[in-house]
Chains A and B, each alone.
Chain A
Amino acid sequence: MATENSAVKKSLYTPFNVVVGVIFLVGVVITFLRFTKGLGAVTNLSDNNPWGMWISFDLLCGVALAAGGYTTSAACYVFGLKRYHSAVRPAILTAFLGYSMVVVALLYDVGRPWRLPYPFLVQAGTTSVLFEVGLCVMLYLTTLFVEWLPACFEWLGFQKPRDLIIRITLALTILGVILSTMHQSSLGALYLIVPSKLHPLWYSMYLPVFFFVSSIAAGLSMVIFEGTLSHHYLHGRMDATYLREHDDVVLGFAKGAAMVLALYFMIKVVGIAIDNKWNYLLTGYGAWFLVELLGFVGLPAFLYAIAVREQNLKLAKWTAVLTVLGIILNRFNTSLVAFNWQLPPADRYFPSWMEIAISVYLVTLGLLVFRFIAIRMPIFYEDPRYRQHVPHEGEEEEGPEFTEHKLHRHPQTFGH
């Protein structure tokens, strides 16, 4: 980190760099505190509230929002929706960085970071949902890394290994979907063991399903959202294909997200019904639950639908933001707001500014790496030398800055 930090420092004093520089400085200091003085020094965690901001945001939200990776690649390679092809690589990269951030955050959060692999190397607690989560995250992170490698290889110009990986794209994608299904749902299953601590409205035997389904919506929305941002800052790095297909992708994903959100809404209601928890709706917590359900699940579902019906990109993009916020809200509710609800207010948890700072620090780190990679590697454009994307007939298909390259078809490869 320190090197990354100084690297930023060296660069020009643009406001962006200054802000980043400050964040990094603070981040490094707190990191130092954490590993010299312990969690107690930097967090508000207590024996009653062992999990805080870093789990709620970095782990739960992080994983949920990185779901774009498997949704997009599945859409493109498995469901054969080729027109989303240009969205795959950004999504994969986002997911990869997202999961990396999760792991880094865990290094901060767990008591003895270097033991993180113990469950797989030393002693397996197979009855633990957390074991399942850890295993899947580990494997999926690897998968994502491999899925991202081609971009890297193309950048470095390693032809052979790159083709090798491209060949097994389908296998990787399916593996990715399986692993994601498992751990996205298992993150919800983490809380199945605390019926006495999690508020009944949020506790449900369906928790795994809730988390999985909502993660799909989150993934799709994240692709839209993060595509929009990239448009802003990395427009120069995008080729005609990406730009041409972008709107198509947004609306298509919006349609998907709308359906998924509708499903999510329904099973949430069913969850209340099968446990007959209606009466809780007439309490303060119930109201809050309704706000989450109506305002951040029902509403976005509608808005997406409208956006699709009216081909309204702007609305779709803003709805994506709303959805993402909704998922974040849900994860925070499940892990903080509705958790330990039986405790007196004095014993409840609220994150310390240092915890928040570390989260910001890690997100910033992620963004920078994303930028670094996106600027250098073929993420938003296809390197013509490896052009595999079938352009639509009669369309000019030259990225703005690659006119000098001679285009040539690449032999059709697996999964395409």
Chain B
Amino acid sequence: MAKGRRLLGWAGILLFSGAASFYGIQAQGEKEPLKAAETERPDLIKIDTLAAYQKLELPPVTFSHDKHTKALRQDKQDCTTCHLVENGKLSLDYMHRKNTRAAALKEIYHANCIRCHMEMAAAGKKTGPPDGLCRDCHNAQPQIAAARLDAGLNQVSHFRHTDPKLVPADQNGKDNCSRCHHEYDAKAKKTFYAQGKEGTCRYCHLAKEKEGVKSLEQAAHLQCVQCHLDLDKRGVKDHGPYDCAGCHGAAAQARVARKNREWVAALPNKEVPRLKRGQPDAVLITHDPKWEEDRPGKPLLMDPVAFDHQAHEKYNDNCRVCHHASMEACEKCHTLIGAKDGEFINFAQAMHSLSSRASCLGCHSGQQAAANCAGCHKYISKSCRPEDASCRQCHLLSAETAIPGGATPSQICALKPPQKTALAEALLQARNLNPGTYALEDLPETVKIKALANRFQPSEFSHRKHLAALLKGIKGNTLAEYFHRDPGAICQGCHHYSPPAKEPPRCSNCHSGENLLARESNRPALLAALHRQCMNCHADMRLEKPAATACSECHQEKKK
């Protein structure tokens, strides 16, 4: 019987464990996932310094930097409470220098953070978790998520920084470029200013620290934040931000943008002056003459492209957009057949690659995503086809260049730089930017579309109005104006897949009348072709009305 009791006991345990797991797991199963959207802060820092040394025992600490700076400011303390000062600059680390041992680090963080919290608490001030509550800081599922926007200077901000009233001029007194821009002398292990060699920080300061060159993050914070702090100390009113949200917060960036606009509006001719770095106004893009010398008797026969460097400076926020790796000319790295420096992307690819924003075509096709353009261009194949029509838009026939008597590509390629520049300027001057189209009176005012005549009355398509709308979208956009010069180019959006003509083929010439079996082609039947042409264009040009499902807006019900 005793045995039996024990067995019974076992059975009981079985059942109990079953029940226990049931409730325990039920409880666990119903854990709510945290909603990041609610509390997103730009000043969130994940403190996992120890991770570089060892496996973390507890989850990293989620640290709100601005909260702390604010609290300290109210407490009449400053950055030095937490950051040591190394040769006049605040260290980015928390109360320690480089190469501190792991054990010490741990101690530094715990001792100082907790001490401060305790003191504040003792002083009856609102503060962070005290000793003992590890998980309050080492929180595996923090309720706040980092929402840090990239900070940086755009054209306007950069130019504002060049104002000596803000940033004092340097020793040579002319300007203040040297305050930020510098080169590194590897031998002397020091930085120096090289006039006319200024580039963007990112050329040297990469995402990660490399061969002693600080990472962009370190450089930016050491340079910008320090400077802003000093300005503030010197009592300059318009010092820049030095809290996280000031640069990385959405609100602050919006504020800066507004300020920039006002600032530009206040400028003499309402636009930001060009950078003073000796860059050309116009460039005649040809092959590097060396390439032809390398292959005697085999000229490359590529017609030149006149490139409006000055205009493109306006279109882009900074030089990096095109000069992605250095301020050098493209052909320096992107050689005829490609070289290691250019990652073996040859000259042609560098100019024409659709996948890169740094290439001409890549950037231009990117522009086509704008609402004004997308209606047509989203459905026009972007792959560059070897048609004179498109190539000749940029590659002007050498023979027709302004050189008296014409010239061959090789001759143009061999011109001296100043001559090239002059030629480029001349060619740009000669360009006409008026979008040409057929005389409106030759085009139908409206078109009756009877495709759905069986169900609806024919719908009136206001042909000229649509054309006008498209032209309006082009107006003032040099890129668009230049590329829509040829008559009929603009018509291609709707009258596609057939050469431009004043009287293009009818839709029904290609689109079968009724919804037939899908066989070889992906070509829609008339019904769908018309609907999709209209609906997609309206959708892509962000025209709310008429809604795609509002039949009656385009079709009147047939009267019985």
A residues less than 8 Å from B24 (CB atoms): 287
| Interchain CB contact under 8 A, B14 and A287 | no
In the complex formed, the residue of A with least CB distance to B9 is A302
- A283-B29, A295-B15, A299-B11 given as contacts; is B22 within 8 A of A288 (CB)? yes
- A287-B22, A306-B4 given as contacts; is B29 within 8 A of A298 (CB)? no
User: Within the assembled complex, what's the spacing in Å between the Cα atoms of A284 and B14?
Assistant: 18
A residues less than 8 Å from B237 (CB atoms): none
Task: Decide yes or no whether B190 CB sits under 8 A from chain A.
Answer: no
Task: Decide yes or no whether B479 CB sits under 8 A from chain A.
Answer: no
- A302-B7, A306-B7 given as contacts; is B14 within 8 A of A291 (CB)? no
| Cβ contacts B1-27/A at 8 Å (1 or 0 each) | 101100110110011011101111110
B residues less than 8 Å from A12 (CB atoms): none
Which residues in window 287-330 of A have CB below 8 A to B? Answer: 287-288, 290-291, 293-295, 298-299, 302-303, 305-306, 309-310, 312
Task: Label chain B's interface by main secondary structure.
Answer: helix
B residues less than 8 Å from A346 (CB atoms): none
The 7 A-B pairs of least Cβ separation, nearest first, read A287-B22, A294-B18, A302-B11, A290-B18, A294-B14, A287-B25, A306-B4
Which residues in window 1-57 of B have CB below 8 A to A? Answer: 1, 3-4, 7-8, 10-11, 14-15, 17-19, 21-26, 28-29
Task: Decide yes or no whether A282 CB sits under 8 A from chain B.
Answer: yes
User: Within the assembled complex, what's the spacing in Å between the Cα atoms of A68 and B520?
Assistant: 65
| Interchain CB contact under 8 A, B4 and A291 | no
A residues less than 8 Å from B21 (CB atoms): 281, 286-287, 290
> Which of B18, B24, B26 is the most central at the interface, judged by chain A CB atoms within 10 Å of its CB?
B18
A residues less than 8 Å from B8 (CB atoms): 302-303, 306
| Interchain CB contact under 8 A, B26 and A287 | yes
B residues less than 8 Å from A299 (CB atoms): 11, 14-15
A100 to chain B, nearest CB (A): 36
| Cβ contacts A376-411/B at 8 Å (1 or 0 each) | 000000000000000000000000000000000000
User: Within the assembled complex, what's the spacing in Å between the Cα atoms of A294 and B19?
Assistant: 9
B residues less than 8 Å from A281 (CB atoms): 21
B residues less than 8 Å from A303 (CB atoms): 8, 11
A residues less than 8 Å from B10 (CB atoms): 302
Q: With A287-B21, A298-B14, A309-B7 given, can you name 17 additional A-B contacts, CB distance below 8 Å?
A: A282-B25, A284-B25, A284-B29, A286-B21, A290-B21, A295-B14, A295-B18, A295-B19, A299-B11, A299-B14, A299-B15, A302-B10, A303-B8, A306-B8, A309-B3, A309-B4, A310-B1
| Interchain CB contact under 8 A, A310 and B4 | yes
User: Within the assembled complex, what's the spacing in Å between the Cα atoms of A306 and B7?
Assistant: 7
| Interchain CB contact under 8 A, B19 and A291 | yes
User: Within the assembled complex, what's the spacing in Å between the Cα atoms of A290 and B4?
Assistant: 24
| Interchain CB contact under 8 A, B4 and A284 | no
Task: Point out residues on B near A: beta carbons under 8 Å.
Answer: 1, 3-4, 7-8, 10-11, 14-15, 17-19, 21-26, 28-29
Give the residue of B1, B14, B19 whose beta carbon is less than 8 angstroms from that of A302. B14
Task: Point out residues on A near B: beta carbons under 8 Å.
Answer: 281-284, 286-288, 290-291, 293-295, 298-299, 302-303, 305-306, 309-310, 312
In the complex formed, the residue of B with least CB distance to A292 is B18
B residues less than 8 Å from A291 (CB atoms): 18-19, 22
A residues less than 8 Å from B17 (CB atoms): 290, 294
Number of interchain pairs (Cβ within 8 Å): 57
In the complex formed, the residue of A with least CB distance to B11 is A302
A364 to chain B, nearest CB (A): 32
User: Within the assembled complex, what's the spacing in Å between the Cα atoms of A120 and B24?
Assistant: 51
In the complex formed, the residue of A with least CB distance to B16 is A294
A82 to chain B, nearest CB (A): 30
Provide a sorted-by-A list of 10 A–B residue pairs whose CB atoms are within 8 angstroms. Answer: A281-B21, A284-B25, A287-B18, A290-B17, A290-B21, A293-B18, A294-B18, A295-B18, A309-B4, A309-B7
User: Within the assembled complex, what's the spacing in Å between the Cα atoms of A283 and B8?
Assistant: 28
- A287-B25, A287-B26 given as contacts; is B4 within 8 A of A294 (CB)? no
In the complex formed, the residue of B with least CB distance to A297 is B14
A residues less than 8 Å from B22 (CB atoms): 287-288, 290-291
B residues less than 8 Å from A288 (CB atoms): 22
| Interchain CB contact under 8 A, B7 and A305 | yes
B24 to chain A, nearest CB (A): 8
User: Within the assembled complex, what's the spacing in Å between the Cα atoms of A293 and B21?
Assistant: 13
In the complex formed, the residue of B with least CB distance to A302 is B11
A residues less than 8 Å from B4 (CB atoms): 306, 309-310, 312
User: Within the assembled complex, what's the spacing in Å between the Cα atoms of A296 and B25?
Assistant: 20
A residues less than 8 Å from B19 (CB atoms): 291, 295
A15 to chain B, nearest CB (A): 36
B residues less than 8 Å from A295 (CB atoms): 14-15, 18-19
A residues less than 8 Å from B29 (CB atoms): 283-284
B residues less than 8 Å from A283 (CB atoms): 25, 29
B residues less than 8 Å from A309 (CB atoms): 3-4, 7
In the complex formed, the residue of A with least CB distance to B13 is A294
B7 to chain A, nearest CB (A): 5
> Which of A281, A290, A309 is the most central at the interface, judged by chain B CB atoms within 10 Å of its CB?
A290
A392 to chain B, nearest CB (A): 29
User: Within the assembled complex, what's the spacing in Å between the Cα atoms of A263 and B3?
Assistant: 23
User: Within the assembled complex, what's the spacing in Å between the Cα atoms of A210 and B15?
Assistant: 21
User: Within the assembled complex, what's the spacing in Å between the Cα atoms of A360 and B14?
Assistant: 33
| Interchain CB contact under 8 A, B25 and A294 | no
A residues less than 8 Å from B3 (CB atoms): 309
> Which of A283, A287, A288, A299 is the most central at the interface, judged by chain B CB atoms within 10 Å of its CB?
A287
A residues less than 8 Å from B7 (CB atoms): 302, 305-306, 309
User: Within the assembled complex, what's the spacing in Å between the Cα atoms of A298 and B16?
Assistant: 12
User: Within the assembled complex, what's the spacing in Å between the Cα atoms of A287 and B19?
Assistant: 8
User: Within the assembled complex, what's the spacing in Å between the Cα atoms of A310 and B17?
Assistant: 26
A181 to chain B, nearest CB (A): 30
| Interchain CB contact under 8 A, B26 and A298 | no
User: Within the assembled complex, what's the spacing in Å between the Cα atoms of A299 and B22?
Assistant: 16
A residues less than 8 Å from B11 (CB atoms): 298-299, 302-303, 306
Give the residue of A286, A293, A306 whose beta carbon is less than 8 angstroms from that of B25. A286
A299 to chain B, nearest CB (A): 5
User: Within the assembled complex, what's the spacing in Å between the Cα atoms of A309 and B10?
Assistant: 15
B residues less than 8 Å from A312 (CB atoms): 4
B306 to chain A, nearest CB (A): 63
B residues less than 8 Å from A302 (CB atoms): 7-8, 10-11, 14
B163 to chain A, nearest CB (A): 62
B22 to chain A, nearest CB (A): 4
A279 to chain B, nearest CB (A): 12
In the complex formed, the residue of A with least CB distance to B30 is A284
In the complex formed, the residue of A with least CB distance to B12 is A299
User: Within the assembled complex, what's the spacing in Å between the Cα atoms of A326 and B19?
Assistant: 15
User: Within the assembled complex, what's the spacing in Å between the Cα atoms of A288 and B17?
Assistant: 12
> Which of A294, A295, A303 is the most central at the interface, judged by chain B CB atoms within 10 Å of its CB?
A294
User: Within the assembled complex, what's the spacing in Å between the Cα atoms of A295 and B28?
Assistant: 22
A residues less than 8 Å from B25 (CB atoms): 282-284, 286-287
Give the residue of A284, A294, A305, A306 whose beta carbon is less than 8 angstroms from that of B26. A284
User: Within the assembled complex, what's the spacing in Å between the Cα atoms of A288 and B25?
Assistant: 10
User: Within the assembled complex, what's the spacing in Å between the Cα atoms of A294 and B7?
Assistant: 14
> Which of B8, B15, B26 is the most central at the interface, judged by chain A CB atoms within 10 Å of its CB?
B15
In the complex formed, the residue of B with least CB distance to A300 is B11
User: Within the assembled complex, what's the spacing in Å between the Cα atoms of A286 and B23?
Assistant: 11
A residues less than 8 Å from B15 (CB atoms): 294-295, 299
